[in-house]
Amino acid sequence: MARPTDLLLDVNIVLDICLPRPGLAEPALAALERCRQAGGHLWLYAGSVQTLEYTLAAGLLQQSGAGSAGVQEPSLTRGQALRRSHELLHAFCRDVHWLAALAGDGDVFATDDPEDEQLLRAVRRRPAGSMRLLTRDQRLLSRHPDLTLAPQDGAAPGPGVCADLDFIDLRSQQLALRPALEAGMHRVLDHGQYIMGPEVKQLEQRLAARTGVAHCVTVASGTEALLISLMALGVGAGDEVITTPFTFAATVEVIVLLGARPVFVDIEPDSCNLDAKLLEPAITPRTKAIMPVSLYGQVADMAEINAVAAKHGLPVIEDAAQSFGARYQGRESCALSTFGCTSFFPSKPLGCYGDGGALFTDDAALAQAAREIRVHGQSARYTHTRVGVGGRMDTLQCAVVLAKLERFDWELQRRREIGARYGRLLAPLQARGLGLLAVRPDRDCVWAQYTVFVPQRERVQQALQAAGVPTAVHYPKPAHHQPAYAGFAPLDACPHSIAAAQRVMSLPMSADLSEADQDRVVAALADVLAAL
């Protein structure tokens, strides 16, 4: 379904409101309000600042002169009018987003009206129909009816409050962080060190500091973090790596890629994380590593897993692709084992705008190995000491994650609160067959996905989709039911993983999910379950 339309405000609209101009301010304010009500956002073009400042100051001067009947001299000085214009604009801009003036917006002097051309270019940058220029300029309105809107022309076309929900709302996050994101990206464009630029080291230092781990190595993806960790540990042909089959394919894929064999241990049915009680019997002389997954944003039983691993002298790799920021017994996910590996895939709790990931370790030698493997096994330029991969995270993506860190603690808190609220609101639906994920008391969950267990999943998903509530399944088959990995365990192995794969369903979740939208999800699910 179409998104609500945003409005870019022409200078004349801002003047109508700020001066204010009787008869013109009211329709302009009404148009702004309609846009907000429909879920759209208001924007000002950053290149309009000077025009706004001077035209508003001029308008204030003119008004002050006109206001003092019979007196020629205006009652405001030019300086006072300028200061007043700053105050008014500062107040007006509180609810407005700034649309960047890009380099391409400067080359406009060959056009009829350079200022108008800039605004039109700014609107054209956006996907068609997602933004209109709100203006009183008749020439603009008549020449560009598809890009403009007059204040009195009713609501900007948009679906309003009944639009489909986002499964993950990354747009609100981007709106909030847009200035930091743009600044970070432009910095990279300016210094031009696209590979291994300064942002790479900055991010590694920031992430090491926040997790309390000695070494953080950024890599091309979460998959690459797992692969490089296994390579640094020397896992290869004939080795066994113990993991859970109820995970994203990447966990298993990296083991098989290295010629090793995944050994599947079942999950706890209520948390969907690897059942530590089943771990020890799965260890053989060939076992080279243990790779639990902190699924949905809740850390697995790392203390128990580490204890078994220590008894057998085995390293542990936490697949923390979904759990960055989660806490376990007072410590951070990624800081709990030989290696912690996370993903910055856009939908993850800490995501970039492409692929990215990081691995964490307190072991200096393993960190060095990982750094070398990440750049084709080079210990020095063109000295390939070991076999490696092209596994670097690029500088632009590091800049994006650095910007996202500005708000990450707030987002984590919101995720915890929204998860807890879902839990409270959904609890009564357990009587209708809904199951909730168990979160253990010694840890929290950052809800990379808010996943529940439902009967008749396909029917439930279809009915929710019809109500505008998107859902997803993480994951519909355990690894040993996938053609690529079927040979590694009997089909009936790991029954809890098989059962979970048939019942799990994830609901819309993100730090910006509003209470109203969450209520809508819960009400729709209640209706659907009642009708089964």
Measured between alpha carbons, how far is residue 443 from residues 66, 323, 347, 380 in Å? 68, 11, 22, 42
The pairing of strands 339-343 and 261-264 is unpaired
How far does CA 251 lie from the centroid of its chain?
Answer: 21
Task: Give the shortest CB-234-to-ligand PLP separation in angstroms.
Answer: 21
Task: Give the shortest CB-448-to-ligand PLP separation in angstroms.
Answer: 7
The site map against ligand PLP for 117-136 (x = CB under 6 A) is: --------------------
Q: Helix or strand or coil: residue 76?
A: coil
DSSP label of 277? G
Task: Give the shortest CB-420-to-ligand PLP separation in angstroms.
Answer: 22
108: number of CA atoms within 13 Å, CB side? Answer: 18
- What single letter denotes the amino acid at residue 401? V
Cβ-Cβ contacts under 8 Å for 495 (sequence gap 6 or more)? 266
Task: Give the shortest CB-438-to-ligand PLP separation in angstroms.
Answer: 18
d(CA 96, CA 25): 17
Q: Closest Cα partner for 350 from 332, 363, 330, 371? A: 332
| Region from 73-81, 170-178, 218-226, 379-387 binding ligand PLP, contact rule CB under 6 A | 218-226
Give yes or no for a contact between 200 and 393, defined as CB atoms under 8 angstroms apart.
yes
Residue nearest to ligand PLP (CB): 222
| Region from 148-156, 315-323, 465-473, 491-499 binding ligand PLP, contact rule CB under 6 A | 315-323
Q: Which of 47, 292, 349, 357 binds ligand PLP (CB under 6 A)?
A: 357
Name the residue nearer to ligand PLP (CB basis): 148 or 343: 343
Q: Which of 211, 244, 343, 510 binds ligand PLP (CB under 6 A)?
A: 343
Q: Is 221 in the site for ligand PLP (CB under 6 A)?
A: yes
Query: Looking only at residues 444 through 503 of this chain, which bind ligand PLP when binding is defined by CB under 6 A?
Result: none
Give yes or no for a contact between 389 and 376, defined as CB atoms under 8 angstroms apart.
yes
The site map against ligand PLP for 142-181 (x = CB under 6 A) is: ----------------------------------------
d(CA 509, CA 512): 8
Q: Closest Cα partner for 320 from 303, 310, 335? A: 335
Name the residue nearer to ligand PLP (CB basis): 116 or 319: 319
Cβ-Cβ contacts under 8 Å for 305 (sequence gap 6 or more)? 274, 276, 279, 290, 292, 316, 337
| Region from 112-120, 300-308, 314-322, 394-402 binding ligand PLP, contact rule CB under 6 A | 314-322
Q: Which two tokens stand for residue 177?
A: 């962080």
Q: Is 64 in the site for ligand PLP (CB under 6 A)?
A: no
Name the residue nearer to ligand PLP (CB basis): 356 or 435: 356
Q: Give the orientation angle of helix 49-67 with respect to helix 78-92, to 10 degrees.
A: 120
| Angular region, 325: left φ>0, alpha ψ -120 to 50, beta rest | left
| Region from 63-71, 205-213, 242-250, 269-277 binding ligand PLP, contact rule CB under 6 A | 242-250
Total residues at the site for ligand PLP (CB under 6 A)? 15
Q: Which two tokens stand for residue 215?
A: 């070494």
384: number of CA atoms within 13 Å, CB side? Answer: 8
d(CA 340, CA 202): 19
Q: Is 248 in the site for ligand PLP (CB under 6 A)?
A: yes
Q: Helix or strand or coil: residue 170?
A: helix
Q: Which of 264, 345, 447, 450 binds ligand PLP (CB under 6 A)?
A: 345
Task: Give the shortest CB-358-to-ligand PLP separation in angstroms.
Answer: 10
Query: Looking only at residues 286 through 305 of this chain, which bind ligand PLP when binding is defined by CB under 6 A?
Result: 293
Q: Which two tokens stand for residue 206?
A: 């920031």
Task: Give the shortest CB-344-to-ligand PLP separation in angstroms.
Answer: 7
Task: Give the shortest CB-400-to-ligand PLP separation in angstroms.
Answer: 14
d(CA 269, CA 435): 11
**Cα-atom radius of gyration of the chain, to the nearest Å?**
28
d(CA 264, CA 505): 22
| Region from 31-39, 58-66, 247-255, 481-489 binding ligand PLP, contact rule CB under 6 A | 247-255
d(CA 46, CA 182): 13
| Region from 64-72, 173-181, 216-224, 305-313 binding ligand PLP, contact rule CB under 6 A | 216-224
Task: Give the shortest CB-379-to-ligand PLP separation in angstroms.
Answer: 26
Q: Which of 250, 260, 267, 336 binds ligand PLP (CB under 6 A)?
A: 250
Q: Which of 55, 247, 333, 506 binds ligand PLP (CB under 6 A)?
A: 247
Name the residue nearer to ligand PLP (CB basis): 55 or 229: 229
Name the residue nearer to ligand PLP (CB basis): 250 or 289: 250
Task: Give the shortest CB-383-to-ligand PLP separation in angstroms.
Answer: 28
| Region from 272-280, 317-325, 380-388, 414-422 binding ligand PLP, contact rule CB under 6 A | 317-325
d(CA 124, CA 131): 8
Task: Give the shortest CB-501-to-ligand PLP separation in angstroms.
Answer: 14
Give yes or no for a contact between 389 and 224, defined as CB atoms under 8 angstroms apart.
yes
Positions in the binding site for ligand PLP (CB under 6 A): 221-223, 247-248, 250-251, 293, 319, 321-322, 343, 345, 355, 357
